[in-house]
Amino acid sequence: MPEREPHPRIFDGLLHLIPRLPLGEATLTGLIEWEMAVLSDLGYGLDLTSCAVTGRSDGLAYVSPKTGRAVSEEGAGAWAARLLPLPGFLTGSAQPDMAAWRDGLRLTGHFLARDAFGNQHRPLPQARAMLYDRVSAAVQKDDVTENAG
């Protein structure tokens, strides 16, 4: 954040998030939403309201890593593999689970690394990268357990 610039939404969000940290996984939704607010306040807000290709607001499944705009399953077509997954809890279409939190952390992490930290020639903080790695490992573990049973 730029020095000496007030960002009450970010500050208040952080004050709300910190006491919830002991709740563990339940805090991840709030963290991802807070990171989206940080991006927005810095001028890099994501547009998850409608598909960048079709203009429709239903079926949103991806985000363009270049523009930060949502893309529907239909609009993605052959480009789907190059897009970032959009977790449904960010659009209100699904409840969060570990895979959705992983996708949310990947989404915000991409834009934080590129726009917030990258413009300062700094990497994403190691603790943030480690959080993504842990959530991702938990998803892989769940996938292995489900496939074994």
Would 70 be classed as within a structural domain? yes
- Asked if residue 81 belongs to a domain, the reply is yes
58 in a structural domain: yes
Residue 71 placed within a domain:
yes
Residue 37 in any domain: the answer is no
pLDDT tens, 16-27?
999 888 887 889
What is the rounded average pLDDT for all residues in the chain? 92
- Which residues lie below 8 Å from residue 16, measured CB to CB, with a gap of 6+? 30
Asked if 114 and 47 count as a contact pair (C-beta separation under 8 A), the reply is no
Asked if the structure places residue 144 within a domain, the reply is no
Indicate the pTM of the whole model: 0.90
Task: Look at residue 48 and tell me whether its pLDDT is greater than 80.
Answer: yes
Higher confidence at residue 2 or residue 123?
Answer: 123
Which pLDDT belongs to residue 124?
94
Helix orientation angle between 28-41 and 8-17, rounded to the nearest 10 degrees? 170
Split into its structural domains, the chain has a count of 1
Q: Check residue 67 and report its DSSP letter.
A: T
Q: What is the span of the domain harbouring residue 80?
A: 49-85
Q: Determine, yes or no, domain membership for 141.
A: no
Q: Is the pLDDT of residue 149 over 70?
A: no
d(CA 17, CA 21) in angstroms, rounded, equals: 7
Res. 146: pLDDT tops 80: no
Residue 4 pLDDT grade (very low, low, confident, very high; cuts 50, 70, 90): confident
Ranked by mean pLDDT, which of 23-27, 38-42, 139-143 comes out on top?
38-42
pLDDT of residue 148: 63
The answer to whether residue 80 is domain-embedded is: yes
